[in-house]
């Protein structure tokens, strides 16, 4: 895994405005989206199988960025934004099976112009809440008219079931402003276990189907 990216000299307040920074992050999101589309098309062509169900992209608003920086005690400068905010540009890839998650993560990590900065595997090591997902922070070069800007993108890869659970958990906790009753947290953890069992069962069923088809073709 690559070491943490050095601070990019072109991410300087004097060289780039906040609007310019948002332009660069949007460009990074487009670049990453194109790469994911190409990998998906290649996989479908080679294996006659589509590992990606759908992709969601989002850019954190300037207001959210400033709020996050102030929450962590940093001034709202572009340098601080680049160094301490890893999730400004975000891509969520939703797959059918858990095996697809690691396959896609490996394919993304092997791209020659992508630098993997960090990985957090919440599938093998779920959060206390029951949250499961595979997170990558990567850097991708964006070529402007007069300079290259290495830009961070957060990638989350999860199954449909994981995404369903995470979306509902977010909505539930948003209603309680982060202070949900204990029984709600307990029930969410139980639901997370059911989601894990469903993912395991669906993966096992898919493998059984592939094996049966292989035997039929022999």
Beta-bridge mates of residue 92: 56, 156
Query: Same structural domain for residues 120 and 82?
Result: yes
Query: Is residue 163 very low, low, confident or very high in pLDDT (cuts 50, 70, 90)?
Result: very high
Given this model, what pLDDT does residue 178 score?
64
Query: Same structural domain for residues 54 and 69?
Result: yes
Query: Same structural domain for residues 41 and 130?
Result: yes
Q: Is residue 8 part of a domain?
A: no
Q: Is the pLDDT of residue 8 over 50?
A: no
Query: Same structural domain for residues 183 and 121?
Result: no
Query: Same structural domain for residues 150 and 117?
Result: yes
Query: Same structural domain for residues 188 and 116?
Result: no
Q: Is residue 1 part of a domain?
A: no
Given this model, what pLDDT does residue 143 score?
92
Given this model, what pLDDT does residue 216 score?
85
Q: Is the pLDDT of residue 28 over 90?
A: yes
* Mean pLDDT lowest among 39-53, 128-142, 150-164, 165-179: 165-179
154 classed as catalytic? yes
Calculate the average pLDDT of the chain: 88
Write out the residue range of the structural domain in which residue 197 sits: 169-216
Query: Is residue 21 very low, low, confident or very high in pLDDT (cuts 50, 70, 90)?
Result: confident
Given this model, what pLDDT does residue 82 score?
87
Q: Is residue 12 part of a domain?
A: no
Query: Same structural domain for residues 207 and 140?
Result: no
Q: Which member of 57, 154, 200, 214 is catalytic?
A: 154
- Cα–Cα distance for residue pair 76/98, rounded to 1 Å: 38
Query: Same structural domain for residues 145 and 57?
Result: yes
- Cα–Cα distance for residue pair 5/157, rounded to 1 Å: 22
> Per residue, what are the HEC states of the chain?
CCCCCCCCCCCCCCCCCHHHHHHHHHHHHHHHHHHHHHHHHHHHHHHCCCCEEEEEEEECCHHHHHHHHHHCCCCCCHHHHHHHCCCCEEEEEEECCHHHHHHHHHHHHCCCCCEEEEEEECCCCCCCCCCCCEEEEEEEEEECCCCEEEEEEEEEEEEHHHHHHHHHHHHHHHHCCCCCCHHHHHHHHHHHHHHHHHHHHHHHHHHHHHHHHHHHCC
Query: Same structural domain for residues 88 and 192?
Result: no
- CA-CA distances (angstroms) from residue 36 to 25, 51, 55? 16, 11, 9
Tokens found for residue 41? 């098309």
Q: Is residue 87 part of a domain?
A: yes
Q: Is the pLDDT of residue 5 over 60?
A: no
Q: Is residue 106 part of a domain?
A: yes
User: pTM of the prediction?
Assistant: 0.86
Beta-bridge mates of residue 119: 136
CB 97 within 8 A of CB 199: yes
Q: Is residue 2 part of a domain?
A: no
Query: Same structural domain for residues 92 and 59?
Result: yes
* Domain closes at, from 162, 186, 206: 162
Query: Same structural domain for residues 143 and 194?
Result: no
- Average confidence (pLDDT) over 76-85: 88
CB proximity list for 93: less than 8 A, separation 6 or greater: 36, 52, 55, 104, 155, 156, 157, 158
Given this model, what pLDDT does residue 12 score?
55
Given this model, what pLDDT does residue 177 score?
67
Query: Is residue 199 very low, low, confident or very high in pLDDT (cuts 50, 70, 90)?
Result: very high
Give the chain's domain count: 2
Q: Is residue 9 part of a domain?
A: no
Q: Is the pLDDT of residue 80 over 60?
A: yes
CB 70 within 8 A of CB 11: no
Q: Is residue 11 part of a domain?
A: no
Query: Is residue 154 very low, low, confident or very high in pLDDT (cuts 50, 70, 90)?
Result: very high
Q: Is the pLDDT of residue 38 over 80?
A: yes
Query: Same structural domain for residues 202 and 141?
Result: no
């Amino acid at each position: 895994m690559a070491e943490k990216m050095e601070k990019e000299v072109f991410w300087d307040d004097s060289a780039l405005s906040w609007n310019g920074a948002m332009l660069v992050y949007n460009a990074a999101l487009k670049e990453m989206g194109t790469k994911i589309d190409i990998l998906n098309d290649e996989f479908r062509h080679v294996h006659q199988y589509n590992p990606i169900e759908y992709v969601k992209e989002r850019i954190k608003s300037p207001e959210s960025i400033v709020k996050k920086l102030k929450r962590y005690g940093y001034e709202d400068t572009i340098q601080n934004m680049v160094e301490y905010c890893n999730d400004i540009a975000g891509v969520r890839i939703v797959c059918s099976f858990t095996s697809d998650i690691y396959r896609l993560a490996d394919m993304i990590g092997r791209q020659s112009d992508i630098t993997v900065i960090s990985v957090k595997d919440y599938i093998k090591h779920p959060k206390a809440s029951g949250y499961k997902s595979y997170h990558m922070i990567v850097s991708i070069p964006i070529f402007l008219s007069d300079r290259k800007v290495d830009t961070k993108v957060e990638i989350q890869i999860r199954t449909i079931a994981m995404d369903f659970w995470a979306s509902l958990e977010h909505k539930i906790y948003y209603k309680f402003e982060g202070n949900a009753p204990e029984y709600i947290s307990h029930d969410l953890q139980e639901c997370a276990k059911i989601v894990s069992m469903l993912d395991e069962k669906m993966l096992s069923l898919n493998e059984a189907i592939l094996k049966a088809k292989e035997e039929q073709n022999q």
